[in-house]
Amino acid sequence: MSPRAPHAGHTGHTGAGSGVRRRKIVISIKTKLGALVVGAVLLTSGLALVAIRTSTEFRYITIFAMIATLLITQFVAQSLTAPLDEMNAVAGSISRGDFGRRVRGADRRDELGDLASTINRMADDLEAVDRHRKELVANVSHELRTPIAALRAVLENVVDGVSDADPETMRTALQQTERLGRLVETLLDLSRLDNGVTTLKVRRLEVWPYLSGVLREANLAASQRGLSTSSGLHNRTDVHLHLDVSPPDLAAYADAERLHQVVANLIDNAVKHSPSHGRVTVHARRGPWPDSLELEVEDEGPGIPEALRHTVFERFNRGSVPSQAGPGADGGTGLGLAIARWAVDLHGGSIGVAESSRGCRIHITLPGSIPARA
């Protein structure tokens, strides 16, 4: 329900007052230095007039004027150089890898305040990058350890004669090898994301056959060895996947490989958080522009709290909502949704969490024939 609109007269008065209160007067350093020069000249002139009218010797007036001017200059210089010294110290700490320090005085209304704000934002960004780097190392190490340990155990048993190299044993080894391959593919996608070297191969797609193939692969993988995607193995054969395309002959222009990444990662995330015997539905509709496409992936899980919706597409974000398959069941790297957003951005489209009365609903718009960003 929309909030009741306040009285028009009251709104206008409040807006004007708020605008005045929010207005920030900026005084540049050049203005301050100019004021210093003008103040020194006025002070000297005033003391000279006092000397003339009181018959005071000019040498005393000159000495007093010099002392007063030096004190004022020292005060102004201190107010300008002290922030620069602090900025130099903080920049030195950042260069040594300490991203925890921040520059005070970001609220100053001059160029030094702007510089302090810029340094603090840079420190925030570098701290986030450093945190992501450490998380990447930890996540990749965790993801690599499990399949390598399992593969090593299988091969050691075969070599030691504990087990035979029968199809079942080789199938287990193959599963772990495939898991390693998926992790490497995810890291390659991340590298392409960072370097911006990926180009699109846009072509016309028949939406129903294309999405049917994506869902069929997901169902087949789930029935054989768990849902096989870039974020891990999920033994969720109890979740039902459905496709809803309207009209049935819907067509769109997109990069088939990148769109597959988007849909597969969204299905993976939806299945991971679906309840037992839940339902995941992929909706496809004609978009607002020629050959454009609107996709929605909807599940029946707990959904995403509104306060967290702006963070779900960030890297390494595994979310605060536990997997419905149990603790530790997802085994994800936290990169799936970030890669989905990257692939959508390559198309010049948009992706976000839409309002839903139940579960989570991810809405995607691809512009189709509109020129995509390379």
Contacts of 136 (CB under 8 A, 6+ apart): 190, 315, 316
Q: Is residue 296 exposed (0-12), middle (13-18) or buried (19+ Cβ within 10 Å)? A: middle
Contacts of 198 (CB under 8 A, 6+ apart): 192, 258, 346
CA 360/CA 298 separation, integer angstroms: 6
Amino acid at 78: Q
Per-residue pLDDT at 280: 93
Per-residue pLDDT at 56: 64
Per-residue pLDDT at 46: 77
pTM: 0.54
Per-residue pLDDT at 308: 80
**From first to last of its 374 residues, what are the pLDDT tens digits of the chain?**
334 343 333 434 444 444 434 445 556 667 767 777 777 777 777 777 777 777 666 677 777 777 877 787 777 777 777 788 888 888 888 888 888 888 887 777 777 788 888 888 998 888 888 887 777 677 677 667 767 887 888 888 888 888 888 888 888 788 778 778 877 877 777 676 666 666 778 899 999 999 998 888 777 655 554 444 433 445 567 888 999 999 999 999 998 888 988 998 899 888 888 898 899 999 999 988 888 899 999 999 888 888 788 778 876 565 555 555 443 344 455 667 887 888 898 888 999 999 888 889 999 999 976 444 44
Angle between the 167-195 and 111-159 helix axes, to the nearest 10 degrees? 160
Per-residue pLDDT at 235: 52
Per-residue pLDDT at 15: 41
Per-residue pLDDT at 211: 95
Q: What angle do CA 347, 143, 329 make, to 5 degrees?
A: 90
Per-residue pLDDT at 149: 80
For residues 302 and 201, the answer to whether their CB atoms sit within 8 Å is no
